[in-house]
Structure 1
Amino acid sequence: MDRDENQLARTLKVAVVGGGWAGISAAVTLADAGHDITVFEMAPQLGGRARSVAGTPDYDNGQHILIGAYRDSLALMRRLGVDPAAVLKRLPLALPYPGEPGLRLPPGPPLVAFTRGVLAHGGWPLGARLGLLLAAGGWLARGFRCDAALSVAQLCAGLPGPVKRDLIDPLCVAALNTPAPQASARVFLRVLKDALFSGAGSADLLLPRRPLSELLAGPATGWLGERLRLGARVHALEPGWRVDGEAFDAVVLACTSVEAARLTAGIAPAWSGTAQALGFEPIITVYLHSRGSALPSPMLALREGADSPAQFVFDHGALGGAPGRFAFVVSGAAPWVARGGCAEAVLAQATRELRWATPPVIDKVLTEKRATFACTPGIARPPALIAPGLWAAGDYVDGPYPATLEGAVRAGRNAAHGVVGTGANGAARGSPTNTP
């Protein structure tokens, strides 16, 4: 065995900075490979943005959903002893609106299910249904690829109005957290490809029916044990690698892009600049309470408008949570943040559009101002490899996906594979790719 092989074979001491889903993924992958890991998390709990609210664990830090195509996220949950079927409610993809069945995909092979679901949509004229199928066929023929400069609105400009209003716009803002006129068509097409056309069940909605921290953060806390340092913000990173003076063979930065840019400013200024230049989109979640009320479906789509901020509402009682609690989600919420919030507007929207057993009241409002990076056309995202022995993991790292839980988990896994595959000195044995 030569020198490089000896180094690659030995146990590495690795620091994982950040304990969100990307950091958990990296830590578990490295630990399973036999390496000595330490996870630094500045918050008092793991989970990053996808967790329950500290102090009030029956509330989540915003409404999160998974889909059937999130295979790596589901595998990570199983690795930590969580049965996805026990904590997630699986539903076939459906976008019902108040009083309207909306688009529903039946079971079966993806192409057949999509075609049948579109043709059966009685709320759209036949011409609109055929127009969507024609456009989808064109995307399929082109391998779901397009010019990187295109926005979703430009890509779908020729689609019938009802299709854009009831399908494209809500799917785009839900998946990319960026409104269609500003959203990357290339990333949107990749989401459609994996969700709608990559296999039976890929488009299924997986809605949490337990507090969000029970999906991953809580089990990971027990699994990591003494390898976890909570409430520990990293102040300085030095080549070598030293984390606040402590020596490591390699480091995975699984913190936010803002924190990663700060820590790498003097080490890799070009990488730091790219990370620092990322824009952000907020998400506002307005929790309403109405005793004795229930929605006709665990999730309903809502039509966004000038006085209607929310695009989706979730019935927590139907998902095994608190009866009478409803989470209204406002994605791409920058205009409403600029106006100082939207709780009263959401309450008015809910009162107008839904039936209630008792008048709804505002229960809690959560605003995540940097919920995701703004997924715009031609966006420059920093690569996973920062420097030899230093890797980035997060949903913002360069790759084909928007800021999703699955993107974070895959980024963590890929960074861990990079550490293992190159050893402490970054010797080339192939860099990880953002593979599905």
Structure 2
Amino acid sequence: MDRDEDQLARPVKAAVVGAGWAGIAAAVALADAGHDVTVFEMAPQPGGRARSVAGTPDYDNGQHILIGAYRDSLALMRRLGVDPERVLKRLPLAMPYPGEPGLRLPPGPPLIAFTRGVLAHRGWPLSARLGLLIAAGGWLVSGFRCDAKLTVAQLCAGLPAAVLRDLVEPLCVAALNTPAAQASAQVFLRVLKDALFSGPGSADLLLPRRPLSELLAKPAAAWLGDRLRLGRRVQLIEPGWRVDGEAFDAVVLACSSVEAARLTASIATAWSASAQGLGFEPIITVYLHSPGSALPEAMLALRDGPDAPAQFVFDHGQLGGPPGRYAFVVSGAAPWVARGGCDEAVLAQAIRELRWATPPVIDRMLTEKRATFACTPALVRPSARIAPGLWAAGDYVDGPYPATLEGAVRAGMAAAQGAGADAAG
């Protein structure tokens, strides 16, 4: 073995700061490459923003959805011994509304399935269906690229009102957690490309039917063992690299952008300022309880408005959870956070729009004020590489995706590869 090969084969002592999905992905990738990994997590449990609520594990810290295109997330689950088919309910993409079938994609090759699904949508006039297909054809021809300064609303300004109301706006706020009038059209098109046109099953909805922590966090904790240090908020990172005085060859910052900015303020000021400059969008999840009730489907879309906060509702009784529990999701929830919450408004919306066997009551409301970064046009996101041997991993780092689980996992894998190569090189 020559010197270069010996350097590449040398095990690296790596620290991963944060045990959300990005940190778990980075830790597993580093360990699989033969490196010595230590994971620091400030919370008492791993999982980041995609986990069960501490103390009440049958509640999740918000409702999450995966899709069939999340191949790296699904592969990571399998690597940790989790069978996605057992813990996720796979459904063809559908956007049903109360009393309306909505858009539904049939099985088959993506282009054909999308065309068939749109043409079969009898809730839209033929002119609206053809208008969407013409627009989608234009996006396909352009390679799903557009001017980086465009908003989703500007990109789709020529689409019929029914298509904007029933598909574009709810899909945009669900995927980017940013209203269409402020959301990046470039990122939205990338989501459409991967979800609708990247292969059979890529657009399928994968709805958790087990508590979120069982999807990744708990299996990762068992797999990492004593390499995972919970309840440890890192206070200081010094060049070299030292984490609270402990020496490492490489460090992956897989914590939030706010924490990463704090930790790099004195060692990478420009990068820290970039991370600190990100804006955020909140998500509110309101859990209602109605014994004996059931929705017609596991997930329904809702039309939001000034007095109707939620865009989607999930029937946990159809997803392996407690019967009679419903999760109402309010994405892009900044106006409602400013008003102090929306539990009573969601309850009123539910009573107006859905049929109940027993009157629903508010179970609890969970607010994630920094659920995602605000995915706005021409946004300059922090780079993954901060300095040689120091990398950032998270759904906010520079890349083509919005703040999604898949984006976090891919960022973690990329940071692990980069940190390992830096330290061994």
TM-score scaled to structure 1, two decimals? 0.97
Runs of 4+ in 1 over 6 A off after TM superposition: none
State the AA in 1 paired with 2:306: A
- Aligned residue runs from structure 1 range 47-196, under 5 A: 47-196=47-196
Which consecutive residues of structure 1, in runs of 5 or more, have no partner in the other structure? 428-436
Residues in 1 aligned to 2:2 and 2:149: alpha-carbon distance in whole angstroms? 47
- Aligned residue runs from structure 1 range 314-325, under 5 A: 314-325=314-325
Residues in 2 aligned to 1:376 and 1:3: alpha-carbon distance in whole angstroms? 47
State the AA in 2 paired with 1:180: A
2:31 aligned with 1:34, yes or no? no
Q: Tell me, what secondary structure is at the counterpart of 1:323?
A: coil
Q: Tell me, what secondary structure is at the counterpart of 1:307?
A: coil
Per-residue CA deviations over 1:79-114 (Å, capped at 9, x if unaligned) read 000000000000000000000000000000000000
Cα contact 1:107–1:201 (8 A) shared by 2: yes
Cα contact 2:249–2:389 (8 A) shared by 1: yes
Cα contact 2:289–2:362 (8 A) shared by 1: yes
Cα contact 2:46–2:217 (8 A) shared by 1: yes
> How much has 1:8 moved relative to structure 2?
2.2
State the AA in 2 paired with 1:415: A
Residues in 2 aligned to 1:136 and 1:68: alpha-carbon distance in whole angstroms? 20
TM-score scaled to structure 2, two decimals? 0.99
Q: Tell me, what secondary structure is at the counterpart of 1:383?
A: coil
State the AA in 2 paired with 1:287: Y
State the AA in 1 paired with 2:78: R
Which consecutive residues of structure 2, in runs of 5 or more, have no partner in the other structure? none
Structure 1 counterpart of 2:46 = 46
Residues in 1 aligned to 2:413 and 2:71: alpha-carbon distance in whole angstroms? 13
- Sequence identity of aligned pairs in percent? 84
- Aligned residue runs from structure 1 range 278-293, under 5 A: 278-293=278-293
Q: Tell me, what secondary structure is at the counterpart of 1:181?
A: coil
Cα contact 1:7–1:423 (8 A) shared by 2: no
Residues in 1 aligned to 2:372 and 2:380: alpha-carbon distance in whole angstroms? 15
Residues in 1 aligned to 2:3 and 2:237: alpha-carbon distance in whole angstroms? 27
Q: Tell me, what secondary structure is at the counterpart of 2:232?
A: coil
Q: Tell me, what secondary structure is at the counterpart of 2:226?
A: helix
Structure 2 counterpart of 1:434 = none
Cα contact 2:283–2:333 (8 A) shared by 1: yes
Cα contact 2:152–2:185 (8 A) shared by 1: yes
Per-residue CA deviations over 1:352-398 (Å, capped at 9, x if unaligned) read 00000000000010000000000000111011100000000000000
RMSD: 0.8
Q: Tell me, what secondary structure is at the counterpart of 2:287?
A: strand
- Aligned residue runs from structure 1 range 36-435, under 5 A: 36-424=36-424, 427=425
> How much has 1:326 moved relative to structure 2?
0.1
Residues in 1 aligned to 2:15 and 2:387: alpha-carbon distance in whole angstroms? 15
> How much has 1:9 moved relative to structure 2?
1.6
Residues in 1 aligned to 2:327 and 2:4: alpha-carbon distance in whole angstroms? 53
Per-residue CA deviations over 1:119-154 (Å, capped at 9, x if unaligned) read 000000000000000000000000000000000000
> How much has 1:422 moved relative to structure 2?
2.8
> How much has 1:7 moved relative to structure 2?
2.5
Structure 2 counterpart of 1:431 = none
